[in-house]
């Protein structure tokens, strides 16, 4: 064997080894990506948003009904956006409607000392979200979302977004901002 053949066999061996290492690294990266991409999102129940208005008795009846309609719209919007973005697999709340209605008849779900966890367990979900809109005036409102781990009761996400104006558009934007904050929080949605 000549010196040239000896050098070529060493260089050839190195190229082969390098190609095998690159292939192994690429395969490992694909395995990591496939685990991340195909992991099922956690399950969550997102309860209907409640309206907290300490001045409701001074409002016109039509205004209270409009706010209840907005709360229903925002509740559905939150559920659909969270589900569509894959942040959580959102559960249907209907199997627990009698339990939910029973709790709502006596207290606000955002301050019921764990009743939301019982609802989440009844629905068989990993997390439960409670939403409420606090109305200070027709110009100043805020929308809040708290998500808790159903097993431990630990709060994994809690944010509030200020809204200016008591309109459908302001409420929709507030809900979208909450979903954006949830999507940006890696501990809350994964």
- Average pLDDT of the chain to the nearest whole number: 85
Per-residue pLDDT band for 160 (boundaries 50, 70, 90) equals very high
Distance CA(86)–CA(38), nearest Å, equals 11
Query: In Å, what is the CA distance from 121 to each residue of 58, 126, 184?
Result: 38, 8, 26
Was domain 43-189 assigned CATH 3.40.50.10070?
yes
Please give the pLDDT value at position 39: 65
Q: How confident is the model at residue 20 (pLDDT cuts 50, 70, 90)?
A: very low
**Domain chopping of the chain, boundaries:** 1-39, 43-189
Is pLDDT of 27 > 60? no
pLDDT tens by residue, 147-156: 999 999 999 9
Prediction pTM value: 0.77
- Strand runs labelled E in 61-135: 89-90, 127-135
- pLDDT number for residue 59: 83
Distance CA 90, CA 85 (A): 11
- pLDDT for residue 34: 42
Per residue, what are the HEC states of 23-70? HHHHHHHHHHHHHHHHCCCCEEEECCCEEEECCHHHCCHHHHHHHHHH
């Amino acid at each position: 064997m000549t010196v040239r053949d000896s050098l070529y066999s060493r260089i050839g061996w190195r190229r082969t080894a390098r190609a095998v290492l690159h292939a192994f690294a690429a395969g490992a990266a694909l395995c990591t990506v496939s685990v991340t991409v195909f992991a099922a999102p956690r399950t969550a129940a997102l309860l209907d948003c409640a309206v907290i208005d300490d001045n409701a008795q001074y409002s016109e009846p039509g205004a209270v009904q409009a706010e209840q309609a907005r709360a229903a719209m925002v509740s559905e919007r939150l559920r659909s956006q969270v589900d569509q973005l894959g942040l959580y697999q959102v559960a249907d709340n209907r199997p627990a409607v009698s339990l939910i209605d029973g709790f709502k008849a006596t207290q606000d779900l955002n301050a019921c000392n764990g009743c939301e966890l019982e609802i989440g367990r009844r629905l068989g979900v990993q997390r439960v979200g409670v939403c409420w809109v606090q109305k200070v005036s027709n110009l100043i409102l805020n929308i809040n979302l708290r998500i808790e781990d159903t097993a431990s009761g630990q709060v994994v996400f809690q944010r509030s977004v200020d809204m200016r104006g008591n309109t459908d558009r302001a409420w929709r934007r507030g809900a979208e901002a909450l979903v954006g904050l949830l999507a940006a929080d890696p501990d809350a949605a994964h």
